Amino acid sequence: MPEKACTNCHFITKQNICPKCKSSSLSDDFGGLVIIFDPENSAIAKVMNIKEKGTYALKVR
């Protein structure tokens, strides 16, 4: 399974359903991987409204 990005929360997953928000709206057309280690202290996480650590896509089309 190729990696896909959730169009809702931008989480990167190889599953058919996003494990974070349970959305089945996933796209293989994404760019800019960002790895969030510490959402509490990450400016990017705040901008993207990320609450949990993980790998996310900056842009999902």
**Binding segment (CB under 5 A) for Zn ion, from list 8-16, 24-32, 33-41, 47-55:** 8-16
> Could you say whether residue 11 binds Zn ion (CB under 5 A)?
yes
The minimum distance between CB 43 and Zn ion, in angstroms, equals 21
d(CA 51, CA 15): 20
Q: What is the DSSP code (8-state) at residue 41?
A: G
> Could you say whether residue 6 binds Zn ion (CB under 5 A)?
yes
d(CA 44, CA 1): 28
- Return the structure tokens found at 1: 């399974």
> Could you say whether residue 20 binds Zn ion (CB under 5 A)?
yes
